[in-house]
Amino acid sequence: MTTREIIRFFIRYKYFAIFPVAVAEGPIITIISGFLMSRGTLSFLPLISLLVFADVISDSVFYFIGKGGRKALDKIKIIKISPERLEKIEHQFERSPWKTMIVAKASYGLGTVFMIASGAANMSFREFLEYMLSLNIVRSTVLLGIGYYFGRIALRLGPTYLWYYTLSVIVLVPLGYYAVHKYKKRHRIED
């Protein structure tokens, strides 16, 4: 499937196509959605609502897996978390839940571990939702803004350069996001 076919797919099916992808992989589809929003294909309020709701679903699933305890994690073979790492994050949630949740939502790729640890640390679901919702709204708005910005640039330069900006939004921005995550992770390990 080419990039143009992918874009046409999201333009045709809009929110129905974005929702399942957002549940599985929120940050990247959020940037792509911002790009599509800049073209007038999507509207901000339904889009931000959908993206935040998708994050609530995926984060809640991992929260409840953590609530199930170590036995639940042992049964789910695709989630590999060392007991030491999980225990360390659980203690962080007990000491400083806001800071830990901020790190969780800012860390691409590590969010799953943090969501599981929040459940394992016996954080109440109400408290979990309060932290997660506010942080998801901020993160989704920022990522939509990034996609929107690149989309507006592409529209100004015209259809000749649209392909290049589409490619940069779909490939380079997520790669940059991933590189920042790796950089932060490396410096956290060194600290």
* Number of residues that make up the chain: 191
The pLDDT value given to residue 114: 78
The pLDDT value given to residue 70: 64
Task: Say how far apart CA 77 and CA 82 lie, in whole Å.
Answer: 12
Burial of 133 (0-12, 13-18, 19+ CB in 10 A): middle
The pLDDT value given to residue 46: 95
pLDDT per 10-residue tile (average), the chain, 191 residues: 77 91 87 88 93 93 81 63 73 81 75 80 87 90 89 70 64 73 65 49
pTM, rounded to two decimals: 0.74
Could you give the count of Cα atoms lying within 13 Å of 105 in the half-sphere of its Cβ? 24
The pLDDT value given to residue 141: 94
Interacting residues of 30 by C-beta distance below 8 A, sequence separation 6+: 22, 51, 139, 140, 143, 144, 147
The pLDDT value given to residue 75: 64
